[in-house]
């Protein structure tokens, strides 16, 4: 019983393609790719905010539209008097 050879993996791949179909596998692959791309962009934005000392923006929406409806508002932080 050891590790699986290339022929075992090819048989598994053929079975998966027969069950799901190539179109569904393509859709799953593109969805996964866009999710990874969005994650990388979020990490890059978080690193840029951390490097500049600015707090991370909390008004970002899923899908890459950052604050599209809030362009005319001013974001302020209320501070308590000490």
H/E element holding 55?
none
Of the candidates 43, 28, 39, the residue with the CA atom closest to the CA atom of residue 62:
39
Any idea what DSSP says for residue 60?
B
3-state class of 70 per DSSP?
A: coil
Into how many domains does the chain fold? 1
User: Which pLDDT band holds residue 55 (cuts at 50, 70, 90)?
Assistant: low
- The domain containing residue 32 runs over which residues? 21-54
Please report the pLDDT score of residue 25 as a whole number: 83
Helical H runs in 1-82?
Answer: 6-20, 22-52
Does 40 reside within a domain? yes
Of the candidates 57, 64, 69, the residue with the CA atom closest to the CA atom of residue 39:
64
Does 43 reside within a domain? yes
Give per-residue pLDDT as tens, 4-39: 899 999 999 999 888 888 888 889 889 999 999 999
């Amino acid at each position: 019983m050891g590790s699986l050879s290339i022929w075992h993996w090819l048989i598994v791949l053929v079975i998966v393609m027969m069950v799901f179909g190539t179109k569904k596998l393509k859709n799953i692959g593109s969805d996964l790719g866009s999710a990874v791309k969005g994650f990388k962009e979020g990490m890059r934005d978080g690193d840029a905010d951390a490097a500049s000392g600015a707090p991370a923006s909390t008004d970002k929406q899923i899908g890459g539209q950052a604050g599209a409806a809030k362009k005319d508002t001013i974001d302020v932080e209320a501070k308590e008097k000490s």
